[in-house]
Amino acid sequence: MNALAGQLVLALHVAVIGFNVAGLIAIPLGARRGWRIVRLRWLRLVHLGSLAVVAVQAVFGRACFLTFWQDDLTESGRTDPLIMRWVNSLLYWPLPMWVFTALYLAVFVYVLALWRWVPPSSGRRLARG
């Protein structure tokens, strides 16, 4: 049961990372192409909030809480399924924490800049086009 729960947490972690990275690309690209979805305020707030959590954790020298949760559930054992080990190797790089802190803070500053460069709209303005 714990192994399955650990795999589900890993899947959630991959989804969150995918959402965060996709937003970094889709927002400026979508603004250029006129995609209204990239200006949805609630979606942008979720994106900003998600990356803020990552940046704050990094500033305090802590790994993501999903990483700790997954480790607790799977006991970080060698019995992890192959796909789980493969995904883990893509997510968890053997670099000093300061590298991640600098990277996460830079990404967060970029997201704040995107808020200014591609300002979100209210739902009413989007509906009217």
Q: Is 93 helix (H, G, I), strand (E, B) or coil?
A: coil
pLDDT digits (tens, 9 = 90+) for 64-84: 888 888 878 877 655 665 566
pLDDT greater than 80 at residue 87: no
pLDDT of residue 129: 47
- Which pLDDT does position 127 carry in this prediction? 47
Question: For residues 63 and 56, what is the distance between their CA atoms, to the nearest angstrom?
Answer: 10
- What is the pTM assigned to this prediction? 0.81
Mean residue pLDDT across the chain: 85
* Tens digits of residue pLDDT in 19-50: 999 999 999 999 999 999 999 999 999 999 99
Pairwise pLDDT comparison (44 vs 2), residue with the higher score? 44
At 68, list the tokens: 């700790």
Return the structure tokens found at 79. 């019995």
- DSSP 8-state assignment for residue 118: S
Q: What is the three-class DSSP state of 77?
A: coil
Q: Is 107 exposed, middle or buried (0-12, 13-18, 19+ CB in 10 A)?
A: middle
